[in-house]
Structure 1
Amino acid sequence: MCGLVTADETTLIDLSIGLEDGVPSEPTPPSIDAFDHEAGAERLAETLRDQGYDVDAEDFPDGMGLAWEDLAVIPHAGTHLDAPWHYGPEVDGEPAKTIEEIPLEWCRGNAVVLDFRWMDPGSEISAADLEDALADLDHDLSPGEIVLIQTGADELWGQPEYLTEFPGMSAGGTKFLVERGIKVIGTDAYGFDKPFATMGENYVDSGDEDELWPAHLAGREVEYCQIEKMANLDELPRKTDIPLVAFPIKIENGSAGWVRPVAMLEGDGTDLIDAANGGEGA
């Protein structure tokens, strides 16, 4: 991976979704108040005047200062990495790690993409489903690999249906991966578990508390992180041995941190596009 970071012929594939103002695919959407350069001049001049300096907006070259944005946003908006603290205060009796405590070594490695686009929305991905997907790839997991769950839900980004049209992981499936040395599991869906409405309906029908966020709460028994709201997994030219980096932003005592996962692949992109479209290496 070291050579890929600096090589001119490396193709970088962005696997993230960004923060968008008021987007209907977020139950708690970001609020982004943007200030252009003229407004930036007014605000900077005001800041300087508050400090005792006689400066007006028109004193800036062309009357323009610096553009910036004020954001009101939760760390679970956009593509983000959930820390073990998100799932509960302890993992197997030990204090759960917050986001700034996550070892960076967990967040880089070779990724494996398991394709569950064939599954119905609201269904649950079991350990047996994961075993079958790995068998289809003829791949044995190694400790430190990053497993990416492909549902195809990212195609619905920007629509309300993004919140409901995807399969989710099971508790057993989550434990199956973590027990094989996987510390980071990603999904291109809104959530790691089944959709909220599916879990709520199942719980009301059964009264079984295990219907409520079972994959998340498996993190109280086994230590792992999950990346939610990934995207563009269909642009990857292969399903295994994908060098990936996904370092989260540090938030003090945070349950999650925004992350921009990037795959790094050999080549200038032409051969990768051919492979992604079904050519050699797909």
Structure 2
Amino acid sequence: MFADATIVDLSIGIEDGAASEPDPATIDRMDHREGAEWLAENLQAMGVDVSADDFPDGTALAWEEIEAITHTGTHMDAPYHYGPESGGDPARRIDDVPLDWCLGEAVVLDVRHLDGGDEITVPHLEAALSDLGYELSGDEIVLIQTGADELWGSAEYLTDFPGMGRDATLWLVEQGVRVIGTDAYGFDKPFLEMGRRFEANGESEELWPAHLAGREREYCQIEKMANLDALPRKTAVPLVAAPVVVEDGSAGWVRPLAVFPEGTA
């Protein structure tokens, strides 16, 4: 049924030593010869008389060993990431997030006119909805388009993007939205911008206000999305974005896919 569908990949993968990650992943690769040697050693430990040369062409299986945090690449933050409680209840971890939150129709709110370091406010979201001629019903996944994904591969990706504010985050959640995505590195403003604002007024509320809004109202966020400009439309986007299950995890990697059946894009 999906043979003629249009599929748009909205993710960034896990890369070795990526310049756009503050804590880059490392990927150690085992080639096919090394795979034969490793498998032969394991069989030998089980009492089997075999060597790497006994495999066809002296080669076997390749694989990778990855060292990465769960917030590397495109990932979904669970409510537990924001704090131990959400709305007075124990915060859900990523393996507790309901799957029905992770698929549905998305709406893309374009805030690409904002500068890096700007805070995304409720009026910005209302204006983006007005531009689309769209009203939220509460069943949507909301995707924030900042355009920051164009900087992926550079250090500027970490610093040059607008971020959600507390009020804007709570406003979306109060509409019934459970999952909010962004194509920027982080959901909040860049680290240094939050630090500058904190130093200017000494208010703790300047530090990760959008994330910590999740302590008041439960929601999940998807960070480091990409390719929102490749979508054929900005409303009623059929989206599947289920995270990898990480036991008791604060986040899980996700590969969001927009799937438009033939003739509907």
Aligned to 2:256: 261
Letter in 2 for 1:67: A
Match 2:138 to one of 139, 143, 152: 143
> What is the Cα deviation at residue 51 of structure 1?
2.0
Q: Is the 8 A contact 1:149 1:188 kept in 2?
A: yes
Letter in 1 for 2:229: D
Query: SS at 1:162's partner residue?
Result: helix
> What is the Cα deviation at residue 25 of structure 1?
0.4
1:112-191 to 2 correspondences below 5 Å: 112-191=107-186
Aligned to 1:54: 49
> What is the Cα deviation at residue 202 of structure 1?
1.1
| Structure 1 spans left out of the alignment, 5+ residues | 1-5, 273-282
Distance 2:250 2:98 in 1: 15
Stretches of 4+ aligned residues off by more than 4 angstroms: none
1:80-119 to 2 correspondences below 5 Å: 80-119=75-114
Distance 1:11 1:112 in 2: 17
Structure 1 position 17 matched with structure 2 position 6: no
Distance 2:59 2:4 in 1: 39
Q: TM-score, normalised by structure 2?
A: 0.98
Aligned to 1:71: 66
**Which segment drifts farther, 6-15 or 208-217?**
6-15
Q: Is the 8 A contact 1:106 1:144 kept in 2?
A: no
Q: Is the 8 A contact 1:154 1:232 kept in 2?
A: yes
Distance 1:42 1:260 in 2: 33
Distance 2:113 2:262 in 1: 30
Q: TM-score, normalised by structure 1?
A: 0.92
Distance 1:121 1:48 in 2: 55
Structure 1 position 227 matched with structure 2 position 229: no
Match 1:207 to one of 202, 209, 229: 202
Aligned to 1:28: 23
Distance 1:107 1:214 in 2: 23
Match 1:246 to one of 224, 241, 255: 241
| Structure 2 spans left out of the alignment, 5+ residues | none
Query: What RMSD over aligned residues (CA atoms) do the two structures have, in Å?
Result: 1.1
Q: Deviations over 1:71-122 (max 9, x none)?
A: 1111000000000000000111111000000000000010000001110000
Letter in 2 for 1:14: D
Letter in 2 for 1:192: F
> What is the Cα deviation at residue 52 of structure 1?
2.0
> What is the Cα deviation at residue 173 of structure 1?
0.3
Aligned length: 265
Distance 2:135 2:100 in 1: 20
